[in-house]
């Protein structure tokens, strides 16, 4: 396959992932070990961690 084919496949996969992002997220969050890893990954992102901590500590 050439570069155009790979590019077309990548664009199509990206479009499908964007279109069905909530279904993919719902599927991924149903699996407990995967959910644990995703939460751990998200909490390593400073902006996400700060937003969550500020929400939890708000009176």
Q: What is the pLDDT of residues 15-43, one digit of tens each?
A: 999 999 999 999 989 999 999 999 999 99
> What value does the CA radius of gyration of the chain take, rounded to a whole number of Å?
17
Q: How big is the CA angle at 58 (ends 54 and 59), to the nearest 5 degrees?
A: 170
Cβ(48)–Cβ(38) below 8 Å: no
In the chain, % of residues over pLDDT 90? 75
Residue numbers of the domain that contains 29:
3-56
- Count structural domains, the chain: 1
Q: How big is the CA angle at 36 (ends 41 and 48), to the nearest 5 degrees?
A: 35
The answer on pLDDT for 1 being more than 80 is: no
d(CA 25, CA 19): 12
Give the global pTM: 0.57
């Amino acid at each position: 396959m050439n570069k155009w084919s790979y590019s077309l496949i990548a664009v199509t996969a990206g479009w499908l992932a964007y279109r069905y992002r909530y279904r993919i997220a719902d599927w991924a969050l149903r699996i407990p070990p995967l959910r644990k890893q995703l939460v751990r990954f998200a909490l390593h992102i400073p902006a996400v961690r700060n937003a969550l901590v500020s929400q939890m500590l708000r009176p």
